[in-house]
Chain A
Amino acid sequence: MAPETADVDLGEYKWGFHDEENPVIKIERGLNEDVIRQISAHKGEPKWMLDFRLDAYEIFLSKPMPNWGADLSGIDFDNIFYYLKPAESNARSWDDVPETIKNTFERLGIPEAERKFLAGVGAQYESEVIYHSLKKELEDQGILFLDTGQALLEHEDLFREHFASIIPSADNKFSALNSAVWSGGSFIYVPPGVRIEQPLQAYFRINAENMGQFERTLIIVDEGAYVHYVEGCTAPTYSSDSLHSAVVEILVKKGGRCRYTTIQNWSNNVYNLVTKRAVAEEDATMEWVDGNLGSKVTMKYPAVILKGERAHGEILSIAFAGEGQHQDAGGKVTHVAPNTTSVITSKSISKDGGRSSYRGLLRVNKDAEGSKSKVVCDALIIDPESRTDTYPYINIMADQVDIGHEATVSKLGEEQIYYLMSRGLSEAEASALIVAGFVEPITKELPLEYAVELNRLIQLQMEGSVG
């Protein structure tokens, strides 16, 4: 009875274009010891780092692929490029970035955002950070924000003290892989008591086909300091797969606070397998805001270890699984010290046969009495072809703790859409609005610019389905 809606294809991935390649260095496909030696040599690293890489490579080879989570059988490690250097130097001015690469970041809106509301920007293209900036007054306060490779060369002691201290190479197969071939990423140090009010942003762009991107991020927030770090990512659409496997380690010292926001929008041919973990000391707060919209497969469970008394951890996770996508996301919290608190809020949306899974681990160790935790995971299923699952693991070893867990699954209701349409909204607007309302508990936590961006991405994903 209802007439057909005009078939406008707004759901197309907007960042699927690619630039012509013009690499300075591109190491041949596949991984072996020699590739790792070449990467390390190009970077002029100290010997201990090469040894660390080679050791990690052994671990990578010895570990089996995970037999849980998403299907990773499509990854062909021999077909991946592990290192590609796109430009001669890491520029401090956009004028010094090669024209094509600069244009790409213009299209992604990075220089504009930098002018408007960011304290600093890092832009990684393939394996290397090609642009980096930090406001002068922040530099003067002793804040460090630079690419991780450069940090190794320029601040070796601080680097070595913390590197791989939170996520050892042997944590899992993909942390081992990252440890062996890592390149790029952000290194941040915020001195005691310093609060950076505007966000620092890093943007990760893959351009080449079958590229592997393995950035490594290390953030140290000293006592009473605060930083909000935001990362975004996109890639071209190719018929064969790319691999993104990052490691992010964060230490938030006494009374400090770190917020880490991700808006992941990889194209549908990227395997996104990331290990992220933070340690929060006494009275410190760690917040992960994790938005997963893109990729073919994502496996990512940002973790917080509440190591000091009264530390607080928060994980807000949004996953959107569209056609051919599997988002296996969630979070992990370990309460180590007494009177620590945590909240995990997960919202997932599955559409056009997409699959989203919430996978969470909440652990309360024996000594963590008086701890509180709340886990809420809500799933919204747009159509009957799509799927959602929840795997909430809870392991409580302490007495006198307060743990809450709620999970809901709802279906996008035909009648609810009709109600909104009866007020004049098109079917696409109505369903996008319901979805925006569903994720609102998370978007309201974001700075306006990112909330708008996230809502816009969700709207594009939703509009793709109506027609």
Chain B
Amino acid sequence: MPDLVIRNLHANITGTDTELLKGIDLQMSKGEIHAIMGPNGSGKSTLSHVLMGHPGYEVTEGEVLFEGQNLLDLAADQRSRAGLFLSFQYPFAVPGVTVANFIRMAVNAHRKGGPDGVDNPVRIPEFRKQIQEAMELLEIDKSMASRSLNDGFSGGEKKRFEILQMAMLQPKIAILDETDSGLDIDALRIVSDGINRLVGPNMGTLIITHYQRILDYVKPDQIHVLMDGRIVRSGGAELAHELETSGYADIAKEVVS
């Protein structure tokens, strides 16, 4: 069975009957690169948050299996420790908490594992070495590790730090929600290299994007088009080129007809 199986997933805004996801089916495994494209407001971020466990959405139908386990039974922190990662489209700031301390806490939470896990904190010199290496690869200035997480960061800096967290937590499936938006041309290449280095037998990624460019660096196995809460088309890399030239209008017509 694929590592991530999404079946007929429906979700509402919590406490309302506004349905945002209207039956999503998608399967993927470690080692694979999938991309989701789709117009603004079609439900891409909603899907990523429903998978991660955002309390603002509730699943009304369908199921999600992660390595065979029912993902929807887990709280967000348990999903993270199980190996799911989300690079946020809009990361939150945590004033007064440094990047380094925060990532160390997250790493330790992962090393501890489940709720009854035993503390097994990473040794500080070892952690320092790891984070420095990861920061070098992502060409992040060392001094930034002691700044407050995302506090006053530029849009592009926030995205780089999301990828830094991904590199440090080593997830099995990473959802990257518009990680490419806001990155300059060099940063896009650096971040893409970082993603490519991690994708392999231990990690697969689901890239949400509006642009062809990142997909030139991180070559998708499959592309899915999400419109109005449903995946309306899936195909190979060529689909992105098609969308780049003709937009979503043609697909929308197809779907209606």
Contact = CB atoms under 8 A, between A and B. Distances in A.
Interface of A: 1-3, 5-6, 413-416, 418-427, 429-430, 433-434, 436-441
A1 B96 contact: no
Contacts of B88: 419, 422
B53 A2 contact: yes
A434 B105 CA distance: 13
Interface stretch (B19-27, B76-84, B179-187, B237-245): B76-84
Interface in B28-72: 52-56, 58-59, 72
Interface of B: 14, 52-56, 58-59, 72-81, 85-86, 88, 91-92, 94-97, 102, 105-106, 109-110, 115, 148, 165, 169
A421 B73 CA distance: 15
B96 A439 contact: yes
A418 B110 contact: no
Given A416-B92, A437-B96, A422 B109 contact: no
6 contacts: A429-B105, A433-B105, A434-B97, A436-B96, A437-B94, A437-B95
A429 to B, nearest CB: 7
Q: Is the interface of A mostly helix, strand, loop or mixed?
A: helix
Nearest to A442: B96
B147 to A, nearest CB: 12
B97 A5 contact: no
Contacts, number: 95
Given A418-B76, A422-B80, A433-B102, 7 more contacts: A415-B54, A418-B53, A419-B91, A427-B77, A436-B96, A437-B96, A437-B97
The 10 closest A-B pairs by CB, nearest first: A437-B96, A440-B96, A424-B109, A437-B97, A421-B76, A423-B106, A424-B80, A419-B92, A421-B77, A2-B75
Given A419-B91, A437-B96, A3 B77 contact: no
Contacts of A414: 55-56
Contacts of A434: 94, 97
A423 B94 contact: no
Nearest to A420: B94
B148 A437 contact: yes
Given A1-B59, A418-B53, A423 B109 contact: yes
A436 B76 CA distance: 21
A434 to B, nearest CB: 6
B97 A440 contact: yes
Contacts of A416: 92, 94
A423 B55 CA distance: 15
A437 B77 CA distance: 20
B161 to A, nearest CB: 11
A415 B56 contact: yes
A427 B59 CA distance: 20
A300 B13 CA distance: 45
Contacts of A433: 94, 97, 102, 105
A59 B121 CA distance: 59
A120 to B, nearest CB: 32
A416 B92 CA distance: 6
Given A2-B53, A436-B96, A423 B165 contact: yes
B109 A429 contact: yes
B73 A3 contact: yes
A425 B55 contact: no
Contacts of B92: 413, 415-416, 419
Given A6-B115, A433-B102, A424 B110 contact: yes
A426 B55 CA distance: 14
Nearest to B94: A437
Contacts of B110: 424
Given A433-B97, A440-B96, A422 B86 contact: yes
A274 to B, nearest CB: 28
A426 B56 contact: no
A427 B102 CA distance: 14
Contact of A438 (B75, B95, B105): B95
Contacts of B115: 6, 426
B49 to A, nearest CB: 8
B143 to A, nearest CB: 17
